[in-house]
């Protein structure tokens, strides 16, 4: 079991009209992190989110919240808030909307006012409290809905496709808002999306869903920043490791390298690959893939503070004599690094 | 024909006592029956929407069917209950305003329940989920739904009022069209037309049209505000 999972999903199955929509054997969501559920329409993202918020009745399996089985315990809703793809505001003012959850919890008026004003400030909507629900743009509606959730101080906020109905500027604003919510309130955040660049930019962890199943991750997502290197080139630095990457303009915060683009060798390679680092194998895990005839292995290699995973065949693994603790070299071309 | 309309207008403008007594009786009875029907139907419509009621679909189908029952059939059924030989004959309600109110309540009840139910069903499905995810319990959801659907409910009540103020079968059969007592606008129009005296009928028809128009204007403005 992973460390400190706020949610743990075990053997859940859910379907619509006897058609299976979601089958998950095991999935953890660690606390105080931004988890992104990535997948195309119909991959089961919304279903999973609604099951976690008990908006859908769990048919099979169980959901643990902080270690307790809450599969049918509606008290869970005190700790989680689900935000729709296009959030709905109640008829009334922005203040009425944000205060609603506190009012039904019968909190004192002065406390409600303080929390509403604080939440408005966090989402950047100071002075909007008297605005009517129908006098707001799509991005403002979303921020009011976020503030409405924040005042309840939930342990988990579930965002369902939050970028689908807002413009690029509001997407950027949202991307900055999420880490500040996580850091300010220690909130665990789950976001579903089919927007790949958005997912890479915001995630602490990415969960791929396809046709209602969790599919193995296939990319290293490295947080970091761009720094000037030698000879006018720019490097991406992640956990103290400088990575050669395409020379693109922009403030990128994530570099992505697919597992199958990373080559493992016992000796340093003399090749065109600009990135070659020595490292130590941390773990070797077989890839769970139903369609794969030959077994594949994910080999996690520790390179200074950075963990890089390479996907190799079982045969390669055997031929190279790879095992946890082995010293290896990881190599990949600068052009295989994608920046977000 | 022009002189008939002129005379009808004169009856209204001059404040003819009988015209206004009949109009007032109609409005009084329709308001009373709509009020009592609303007291029953609004909670029933809400319960039908939110409650876990067995046979919900058949109930809705029956209610829809009852909306189309002719007013004379309702009148006949209530007549059989209130007539001297009926189970409530001892109350001597037949041919009184009370009898008309009872008949109109039965007439408008299915209309109001159906309209409240269908109005709530048309509410955005995200509404219920939004409340639930914010921690609302059953009572909170009910309260918020009534507030959110207030225009729908008011529109339903207005539609019910329009239905009873314009009906003739129940008023005729249960009220007996007694002058200065149970005569309503619709029964009076039917009587005066059969006598070939159109002036009073047309003047009452004008008032009825004005009421219908007023209800429509109010309903439309409510719907507009609800958007």
Asked if B134 lies within 8 A of A80 by C-beta distance, the reply is no
Short-list B118, B146, B111, CA closest to B34: B111
The pLDDT score that the predictor gives to residue B216 is 84
CB-CB contact of B129 with B136 (8 Å): no
pLDDT of B61-111, one tens digit each? 999 999 989 999 999 999 999 999 999 999 999 999 999 999 999 999 999
Closest residue on chain B to A157 (Cα): B133
**Using 50, 70 and 90 to split pLDDT, how confident is the model at A291?**
low
What distance lies between CA A193 and its chain's CA centroid?
9
The pLDDT score that the predictor gives to residue A200 is 97
Structure token digits, residue A189: 């955040």
Asked if A148 lies within 8 A of B124 by C-beta distance, the reply is no
pLDDT of A149-178, one tens digit each? 999 999 999 999 999 889 999 999 999 999
Average pLDDT of the residues of chain B: 91
Average pLDDT of the residues of chain A: 93
Asked if A82 lies within 8 A of B129 by C-beta distance, the reply is yes
CB-CB contact of A54 with A65 (8 Å): no
Asked if A80 lies within 8 A of B144 by C-beta distance, the reply is no
The pLDDT score that the predictor gives to residue B226 is 57
The pLDDT score that the predictor gives to residue A292 is 65
Q: Is ipTM over 0.85? A: no
Dihedral pair phi/psi, residue A131, rounded to 5°: -65, 145
pLDDT of B121-154, one tens digit each? 888 989 999 999 999 998 899 899 888 888 889 8
The Cα B156–Cα B150 span in angstroms is 10
The pLDDT score that the predictor gives to residue A1 is 45
CB-CB contact of A240 with A330 (8 Å): no
Closest residue on chain B to A92 (Cα): B148
The pLDDT score that the predictor gives to residue B1 is 65
Which helix (H) or strand (E) covers residue B198, if one does? helix B198-226
Asked if B134 lies within 8 A of A88 by C-beta distance, the reply is no
**CA dihedral of A31, A36, A41, A45, whole degrees rounded to 10:** -10
CB contacts, 8 Å: A153 with chain B: none
Q: Rg of chain A's alpha carbons, rounded to an integer?
A: 22
Asked if B129 lies within 8 A of A91 by C-beta distance, the reply is no
Closest residue on chain A to B144 (Cα): A90
Asked if B130 lies within 8 A of A80 by C-beta distance, the reply is no
CB-CB contact of A24 with A39 (8 Å): no
- Residue partners of A45: CB distance under 8 A and separation at least 6: A37, A38, A39, A160, A161, A192, A193, A209
Which helix (H) or strand (E) covers residue A147, if one does? helix A138-150
User: Torsion-angle region of residue A22: left (phi > 0), alpha (psi -120 to 50) or beta?
Assistant: beta
Closest residue on chain A to B150 (Cα): A91
Q: How far is A209 from chain B (nearest CA, A)?
A: 24
The Cα A229–Cα A119 span in angstroms is 41
The Cα A251–Cα B211 span in angstroms is 67
Q: How far is B125 from chain A (nearest CA, A)?
A: 10
CB-CB contact of A26 with A63 (8 Å): no
* Bridge partner list, A81: A157
């Amino acid at each position: 079991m992973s460390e400190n999972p706020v949610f743990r999903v075990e053997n859940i199955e859910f379907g619509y009209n006897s058609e299976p929509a979601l089958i998950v054997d095991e999935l953890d969501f660690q606390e105080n992190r931004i988890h992104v559920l990535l997948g195309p329409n119909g991959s089961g993202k919304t279903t999973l989110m609604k099951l976690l918020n008990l908006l859908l009745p769990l048919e099979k399996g169980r959901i643990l919240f902080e270690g307790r089985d809450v599969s049918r315990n509606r008290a869970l809703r005190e700790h989680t808030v689900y935000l729709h793809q296009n959030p709905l505001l109640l008829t009334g003012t922005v203040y009425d909307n944000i205060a609603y959850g506190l009012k039904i919890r019968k909190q004192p008026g002065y406390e409600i006012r303080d929390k509403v004003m604080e939440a408005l400030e966090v989402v950047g909507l100071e002075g909007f409290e008297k605005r009517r629900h129908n006098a707001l743009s799509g991005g403002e509606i979303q921020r009011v809905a976020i503030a409405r959730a924040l005042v309840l101080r939930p342990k988990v906020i579930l965002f369902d496709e939050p970028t689908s109905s807002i413009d690029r500027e509001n997407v950027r604003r949202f991307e900055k808002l999420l880490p500040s919510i996580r850091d300010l309130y220690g909130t665990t955040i789950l976001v579903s999306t089919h927007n790949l660049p958005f997912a890479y930019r915001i995630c602490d962890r990415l969960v791929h869903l396809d046709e209602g199943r969790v599919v193995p991750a296939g990319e290293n997502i490295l947080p970091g920043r761009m720094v000037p290197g030698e000879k006018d080139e720019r490097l991406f630095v992640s956990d103290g490791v400088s990575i050669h990457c395409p020379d693109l303009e922009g403030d990128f915060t994530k570099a992505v390298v697919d597992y199958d683009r990373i080559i493992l060798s016992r000796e340093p390679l003399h090749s065109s690959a600009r990135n070659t680092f020595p490292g130590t194998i941390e773990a070797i895990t077989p890839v769970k893939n139903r369609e794969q005839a030959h077994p594949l292995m994910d080999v996690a290699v520790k390179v200074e503070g950075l963990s890089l995973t390479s996907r190799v065949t079982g045969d390669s693994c055997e031929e190279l004599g790879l095992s946890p603790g082995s010293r290896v070299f990881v190599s990949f071309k600068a052009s295989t690094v994608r920046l977000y | 024909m022009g002189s008939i309309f002129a005379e009808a207008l004169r009856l209204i403008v001059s404040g003819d006592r009988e015209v206004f007594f009949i109009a007032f009786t109609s409005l009084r009875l329709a308001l009373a029956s709509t009020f009592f029907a609303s007291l029953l139907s609004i909670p029933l419509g809400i319960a039908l929407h939110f409650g876990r009621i067995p046979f919900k679909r058949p109930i809705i189908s029956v209610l829809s069917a009852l909306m189309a029952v002719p007013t004379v059939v309702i009148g006949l059924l209530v007549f059989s209950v209130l007539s001297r030989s009926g189970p409530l004959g001892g109350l001597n309600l037949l041919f009184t305003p009370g009898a008309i109110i009872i008949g109109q309540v039965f007439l408008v009840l299915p209309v109001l329940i159906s309209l409240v139910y269908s109005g709530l069903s048309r509410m955005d499905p995200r509404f219920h989920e939004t409340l639930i995810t914010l921690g609302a319990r059953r009572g909170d959801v009910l309260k918020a739904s009534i507030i959110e659907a207030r225009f729908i409910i008011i529109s339903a009540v207005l539609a019910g009022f329009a239905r009873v103020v314009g009906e003739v079968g129940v008023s005729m059969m249960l009220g007996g069209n007694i002058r200065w007592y149970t005569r309503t606008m619709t029964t009076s129009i039917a009587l005066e037309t059969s006598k070939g005296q159109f002036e009073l009928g047309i003047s009452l028809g004008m008032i009825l049209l004005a009421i219908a128009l007023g209800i429509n204007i109010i309903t439309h403005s409510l719907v507009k505000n609800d958007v």
